[in-house]
């Protein structure tokens, strides 16, 4: 079965520091998808990125970047020059095909990031 | 375009009472999901649906039932609420092509307390 491990339960940084959130996954599928979501203190879940298993290029979006390495089954998320507004819980997720052919997501337990001014 | 909406936003139940949570989406998505979120546990899938009239069990289905009579609506029912069902419930929907997995769009959540 699919598994997603976010070993860092909580991280605290000072504004402008860079921070990396780790995500390690387990799957037997050859084709799969990885996701990151952000949950700010207001509680909603915000989609950040989707990456398929055949695309190992790193992705950058503003201060956010993602490093996908199939060799280590990791999909890490880095925030450069962190800001207080980045304070949130971040979830990594992995796609899972069911026996019926439908698709589900398996979520990690999340990493709570606190950025202090 | 409202996206995914959930009703109600908050609810307090007494043990043994029943209730239904309503999820609606206006994106014409085939797939819909119900999750619960508990401290330190992440998001756990309760039930999901791959189309109108179809439902399936997720990771933690016990104590819940669902129905998808219309494509845009996904209902989650608690027949006899228990304190262990105190949680925040999220509904989500996603697009599908049958050959790729797309991101799920989430509703704002329902905070349920069972006393």
pLDDT digits (tens, 9 = 90+) for A47-60: 999 998 988 888 89
Mean pLDDT throughout B77-89? 96
Using the predicted structure, report yes or no on whether residue B15 has a pLDDT greater than 70.
Answer: yes
Q: Which positions ≥6 away from A71 have C-beta within 8 Å?
A: none
Phi–psi pair at A86, nearest 5 degrees: -80, -10
Instruction: Check the CA dihedral B28-B29-B34-B37 and report its sign.
Output: negative
B39 and A CB contact within 8 Å: no
- CB nearest B101 (choices: A37, A43, A103): A103
Q: What would the mean pLDDT of B25-45 be, rounded to a whole number? A: 93
Predicted pLDDT at A100: 59
Distance CA A74, CA A54 (A): 14
User: Which is it for strands A64-69 and A59-61: parallel, antiparallel or unpaired?
Assistant: antiparallel
Name the pLDDT band for A33 (thresholds 50, 70, 90): very high
Burial of B72 (0-12, 13-18, 19+ CB in 10 A): middle
> What is the pLDDT at residue A102?
65
A103 pLDDT exceeds 90? no
What average pLDDT does range A12-32 have in this prediction? Answer: 95
Q: Inform me whether the pLDDT recorded for B6 exceeds 70.
A: yes
Instruction: Give the residue from A76, A41, A83 showing the smallest Cα distance to A62.
Output: A83
Residues of B in contact with A105 (CB under 8 A): 45, 101, 104
Question: Is the CB of A102 less than 8 angstroms away from the CB of B31?
Answer: yes
> What does the alpha-carbon distance between residue A77 and residue B40 come to, in Å, rounded to a whole number?
20
Lowest mean pLDDT segment, chosen from A19-23, A69-73, A103-107 = A103-107
* CB pairs < 8 Å spanning A and B: 52
Strand A3-5 and strand A103-107: pairing? unpaired
Nearest one of B14, B28, B3 to B91, comparing CA atoms: B3
Q: Are the Cβ atoms of A98 and B56 closer than 8 angstroms?
A: yes
Say whether pLDDT at B101 is over 90. Answer: no
**How high is the pLDDT of residue A101?**
62
Q: Is the pLDDT of residue B29 over 70?
A: yes
Statement: residue A18 has pLDDT above 90: yes
């Amino acid at each position: 079965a699919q598994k997603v491990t976010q070993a860092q339960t909580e991280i605290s940084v000072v504004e402008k520091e860079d921070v990396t959130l780790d995500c390690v996954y387990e799957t037997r599928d050859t084709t799969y998808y990885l996701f990151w979501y952000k949950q700010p203190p207001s509680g909603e879940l915000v989609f950040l990125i989707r990456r398929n298993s055949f695309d190992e290029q790193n992705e950058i979006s503003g201060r956010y970047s993602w490093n996908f390495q199939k060799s280590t089954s990791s999909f890490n998320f880095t925030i450069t020059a962190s800001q207080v507004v980045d304070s949130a819980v971040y979830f990594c997720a992995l796609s899972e095909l069911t026996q019926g052919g439908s698709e589900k997501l398996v979520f990690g337990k999340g990493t709570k990031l606190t950025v202090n001014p | 375009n409202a996206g995914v909406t959930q009703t109600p936003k908050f609810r307090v139940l007494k043990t043994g009472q029943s209730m239904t949570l309503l999820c609606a989406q206006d994106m014409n998505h085939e797939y819909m999901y119900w999750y619960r979120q508990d401290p330190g546990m992440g998001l756990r899938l309760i039930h999901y649906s791959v189309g109108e009239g179809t439902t399936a069990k997720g990771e933690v289905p016990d104590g819940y039932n669902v129905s998808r009579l219309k494509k845009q609506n996904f209902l989650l029912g608690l027949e006899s609420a228990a304190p262990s069902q105190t949680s925040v419930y999220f509904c989500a929907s996603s697009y599908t092509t049958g050959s790729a997995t797309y991101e799920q769009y989430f509703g704002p959540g329902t905070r349920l307390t069972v006393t």
